[in-house]
Amino acid sequence: MNKGRLIVVSAPSGCGKGTILGRVFADSDVYYSVSCTTRAPREGEENGREYFFLSVAEFEKMIAEDGFLEHAKFAENYYGTPRKAAEDNLTQGRDVILEIETQGAFQIKEKMPEAVMIFILPPSVEELRRRLLKRGTETPDVIDKRVSQAAGEIEKAYNYDFVIMNDDLDTAVADFETVINSISDPETDAQVHRADNEQVKKMIKEVLENDA
């Protein structure tokens, strides 16, 4: 049996990756990896659904036991991808989606160069702030922290395989589908989303300069 494909998706917090992935993979048989984190659950989040919520001691024990495919510290909390579920699903031939930040994404690419890396860009950092405010799940303090980290995250987009702009949601969902389809059919027009394309490099630069 062929192994599944490992698809890594990163974007600054509030950019819309949860919204896009929810639409793209609504009726598909992919395995959506559930990460572990030491951050507190947000209202409405359930242990084992959005995340496995662990204490720092529990998380560090899992690091020591090599229980993560990757892990990183982000915004003062640990986040990590449980190794077993991801590896089992890949072996069973199922595609696996990791929604993770950039440090973890690069750890994955190093260990598993066949992973497909997709970065979702916001139109600007100020628009990110508006989306986080609209979502209403974080305090203004936490929003400030996340927004101040965003530019650093966006700079990493140059090193991904594909970059998608989430300005208009329907367009972003369609672009994401084009990229996913291109993994099995290289004839599709996903070239326009490749991070080494000059147009895409210019787009990343413009997002960063919008907020200079």
Interacting partner of 182 out of ligand ADP, ligand 5GP, none (Cβ under 5 to 8 A depending on kind): none
**How near is the Cβ of 146 to ligand 5GP at its closest, in Å?**
7
**How near is the Cβ of 29 to ligand 5GP at its closest, in Å?**
21
Backbone angles phi, psi at 190, to 5 degrees: -70, -10
Going residue by residue from 184 to 203, which x/- string records binding to ligand 5GP, judged by CB under 6 A? --------------------
* Alpha-carbon span 142 to 35, nearest angstrom: 20
Interacting partner of 122 out of ligand ADP, ligand 5GP, none (Cβ under 5 to 8 A depending on kind): none
Q: Does 122 bind ligand 5GP (CB under 6 A)?
A: no
Asked if 69 and 86 count as a contact pair (C-beta separation under 8 A), the reply is yes
Interacting partner of 81 out of ligand 5GP, ligand ADP, none (Cβ under 5 to 8 A depending on kind): ligand 5GP
**How near is the Cβ of 202 to ligand 5GP at its closest, in Å?**
24
What residues from 102 to 121 belong to the interface with ligand ADP (CB under 6 A)? Answer: none
One residue of 7, 16, 35, 120 binding ligand 5GP per CB under 6 A = 35
Instruction: Give the binding range for ligand ADP (CB under 6 A) out of 10-18, 76-84, 155-163, 183-191.
Output: 10-18
Beta strand pairing call for 96-99 and 116-121: unpaired
Q: Does 19 bind ligand ADP (CB under 6 A)?
A: yes
Beta strand pairing call for 77-82 and 68-74: antiparallel
Asked if 75 and 67 count as a contact pair (C-beta separation under 8 A), the reply is no
Q: Which long-range contacts (CB under 8 A, 24 or more apart) does 19-27 make?
A: 19/169, 20/120, 20/164, 20/166, 20/169, 20/172, 20/173, 20/176, 21/97, 21/99, 21/176, 23/169, 23/173, 24/173, 24/176, 24/177, 24/180, 25/97
Asked if 6 and 90 count as a contact pair (C-beta separation under 8 A), the reply is yes
Residue 43, C-beta contacts closer than 8 angstroms, at least 6 positions apart: 137
One residue of 3, 135, 194, 201 binding ligand ADP per CB under 6 A = 135
3-state secondary structure of 171: helix
Contact residues: ligand ADP, CB under 6 A: 11, 13-19, 131, 134-135, 166, 169, 172
Contact residues: ligand 5GP, CB under 6 A: 13, 35, 39, 70, 72, 74, 79-81, 99-101, 103-104
